[in-house]
Structures are given as C-alpha cells and as structure tokens.
Amino acid sequence: KNEVEQSPQNLTAQEGEFITINCSYSVGISALHWLQQHPGGGIVSLFMLSSGKKKHGRLIATINIQEKHSSLHITASHPRDSAVYICAVRSGNYGGSQGNLIFGKGTKLSVKP
Amino acid sequence: NAGVTQTPKFQVLKTGQSMTLQCAQDMNHEYMSWYRQDPGMGLRLIHYSVGAGITDQGEVPNGYNVSRSTTEDFPLRLLSAAPSQTSVYFCASSYSWGLGEQFFGPGTRLTVL
C-alpha cells in the first residue's frame, strides 16, 4: 500500500467550477506539501502545512491530522490551472531518512474553457 | 537569485555510457536531493545531502553516485547507463533537512538507448 494516496487520479472540469483534490497518508507526519507541476514539467511549491488551513489567491489547502487527510481546493477554476497537483508528506520521525519527502502519484487536472 | 539550476535539459545516452547531471542552488540551502519521475509513479528519492560533505541514499540509489563538496553544488553521476534509467530527473533544495519549502530545478529528461 502506498504511504500517500491521492484522488482522483484524473479530473476534468469546466472553467469556473470548484475543484477538490484529496490526499490521504498512512504515516505520522511533520508537514504536508502541495506542489504543482506545469505541462512543461516544472514543479513549484504551493503550500506547506502542518495544521489547519492556508489560502493563497484561489487556492485553499486544509489538513486534518487526526484523520491523516488533506484537501486542495481551487475556486473559480481557470484553464491556466491545468496541471498535475502533487501531495507530499514529510515523516514526523527524524531518524535515518525519515526527514525526506514521500510523494503521491499526482492528480492531473484539466480545466476546459 | 537563479534558484535551483540543472544542466543539461535533455540528454540521450547509449547503454554503458557515463555522465553527470549538474545541479546548483544559490540560496545557501543545506538540504539538496535528487529525484526521478517515471510515468504512473510518484517522485522517488535517489540520493540526498544534508550539508557539504554529507550524502546518503534514498529509495532508488543503485546505479547513481553523488558527492557534495560545496553547499551550492550537488552533481548526480550515472556510472554505466542502462535503459531502466530513462526518466526525468529533478534536483531540489530546502533550507534544512526536514524543514521548509522545497525548491525544484527545471528537470533533465534522460533517454538511454
């Protein structure tokens, strides 16, 4: 079983729709990251969070530590939001290699005009 | 700041050839890492470094070597390329191991024939 699971794998939406991408993890974590990978391949960090909720523009990320679940929401989606969204967790144990990131497989979002 | 830079952007090798993928960052980050990204899989950690002179293996280290003689540079060496090493390679850095936002390089697309 993968330690980080994302759903859905693929998502097609119409411009303006509200979008939710989910991430569940099975390990204790110190932080969770949401990343965006553009069609050209570059990866940028959107959020890093360890509790609660963060908002940046039309993007909102939430995390529930007890349920080991995070969501990424996009309000008023736009074709330029089309990308792969990747969830990654940093294990809460700092022995060995546990400080490294564990990645989900990504959710491919396509927003149609 | 240039952030994280990688060279080359594209490379084609023949089986058995060796080469070095270059990675540099100008943010004075202690932590640097190399990942490979394959279709249908999440990013997988090859090697990482928590500071100059200190490196360790990640999830998929076989066939790769690294060294970290300076804070800025973290080259990845393929000793004897194999078709299974055809992938997209990303270098990343963050302020410290287990802490902080990760900054990714633009990636190197490697094909081994």
Tell me the pLDDT tens digit for each residue of A60-95. Answer: 999 999 999 999 999 999 999 999 999 999 876 554
pLDDT at B84 over 60: yes
The residue assigned the tokens 């050839």 is B17
DSSP, residue by residue, A2-51: -SEEEE-SEEEEETT--EEEEEEE-S-EEEEEEEEE-TTS-EEEEEEESS
Angstrom distance (rounded) from CA B59 to CA A29: 18
Q: How far apart are CA A113 and CA A11, in angstroms?
A: 14
Please name the member of A33, A41, A101 whose beta carbon is closest to the beta carbon of B107: A41
The answer to whether residues B25 and B103 touch, using CB atoms and an 8 Å cutoff, is yes
Residue among B49, B101, B103, B109 with most chain A CBs within 10 A, to mutate = B101
d(CA B81, CA B87): 12
Question: Closest-CA residue in chain A for B106?
Answer: A42
Chain A residues within 8 Å of chain B (Cβ atoms): 2, 4, 30, 33, 35, 41-45, 48, 86, 88, 90, 94, 97, 99-106
Q: How far apart are the first and last CA of chain A?
A: 37
Evaluate the omega torsion of the peptide bond into residue B83 and state whether it is cis, within 30 degrees of 0: no
Give residue B42's pLDDT band: very low, low, confident or very high (50, 70, 90): confident
The rounded distance, in Å, linking the Cα atoms of B92 and B51 is 13
pLDDT in tens, B46-80: 999 999 999 999 999 999 999 999 999 999 999 99
Residues 6+ apart with CB under 8 A from A7: A21, A22, A24, A107
> What is the tens place of the pLDDT at every residue in A4-38?
999 999 999 999 999 999 999 998 888 899 999 99
Q: Pick from A45, A48, A103: which is nearest to B42 by CB?
A: A103
Q: Supply the Cα-derived Rg of chain A in whole angstroms.
A: 14
**CA angle centred on A55, ends A77 and B26, rounded to 5°:** 100
A35: nearest CA in chain B?
Answer: B102
Is A104 in contact with B100 (Cβ distance < 8 A)? no
Structure tokens at A15: 């411009």
Measure CA of the first residue to CA of the last residue in chain B; give whole Å.
36
CB pairs under 8 A between A and B: 57
